[in-house]
Amino acid sequence: MYKGKTCNLPFNLIRVHYIFIDAKEVEKKVFSQGYPKMVKKQTTSQIVHSFLRWLGVEKGYSEHTVSAYRRDILEFTTGIGANVLITAIEPIHIRRFVVSLHSHNSATSIARKLSTLRTFFKFLLREHYINNDPVAGISGPKVGKYLPTFLTVDEVFALLETPNEKDRFKLRDVAILELLYSTGMRVAELVSRNVLNLDFANEVLMVRGKGDKERLVPVGNPALEAIRGWLPLRDQLIADRARRGRDVEKEALFLNGRGGRLSSRSVERMVKSYGQRAGIPQIVTPHALRHSFATHLLEMGADLRSVQELLGHASLSTTQRYTHLTLDHLTEVYDKAHPNAK
């Protein structure tokens, strides 16, 4: 703020006498005429730390997502060499990095890493670390249309019936499988749920998804009954942990054998194992159950917008990929049933 004197800015853009002015407005007007910005001077590690903090705090991204950004940026900074400063990056550095990725990355991976760099350098530009975006105008590889892998209804039922009395945590595992298929939630969303997030009376679960956005999803009766069956064993694991003198995890809905919060990796291993035991030919993942949830809803007549809300997709176009699967299914049914199909 300036007060009590004349302020002569470059090019005689603004002259102010004895008034208050907003420094940001002055900066905006001056910079809009091409006056060079003052670039912040920090080390590469400080800049990357600021970016990752922005992703986690302001954008609300999960630790898993922030870690993925960190890995991509570390790969980039390592690839261009320690002698090149982040604030001195040119488009040629980006192009060389992208070319180097082709030998050991799929088109999808390259596109994702380039997307990371776009987000990173847009952040640097907005925060005045750089004056020009080196990624602008650089296109990524063409990525083929991805169709999600899903299970048939019979395969899902076979999976849900696989846990038996020989499995130590049968009650927990059945509850997890039922809940994944009943809600279509992501595995990271599942392991972060607490008991208080589940409303048994109204049969809904509060889910916190990407970008820290919350949504309510209905929970079917089989999943609710399975969770009720698991809760007494959960209480026993908590009591056992307390007797061992360990910090007690009282909030988490799903626990591991030591009484701590269950991890995403543990759920993935468990689902894969039950898929193999069920005789399902493809590798079964928690995300395959999510895809199955969406595909089966659409096959049964659910509208696309409702499925979008249930999945927590920010864009309807993300949900629309499931319509390709349901169209294939409808075509198959038509070919088998219609007398004039062939």
The catalytic site residues sit at: 186, 210, 287, 290, 313, 322
Residues paired with residue 158 on neighbouring β-strands, in sequence order:
none
Distances (CA, A) of 270 to 161, 229, 275: 14, 19, 9
- CB < 8 Å & 24+ apart, contacts of 85-92: 85/44, 86/44, 86/47, 86/48, 86/124, 86/129, 86/130, 87/39, 87/41, 87/47, 87/124, 87/129, 87/130, 89/121, 89/130, 89/134, 90/134, 91/134, 91/135, 91/137, 91/138
CA-CA distance, 94 to 223, in Å (whole number)?
A: 48
How far is Cα 276 from Cα 278, in angstroms, rounded to an integer? Answer: 5
Please give the DSSP secondary-structure letter assigned to residue 8. Answer: E
Residues 6+ apart with CB under 8 A from 5: 18
Tokens of 307: 């499925």
| Distance from C-alpha of 167 to C-alpha of 210, rounded to nearest angstrom | 33
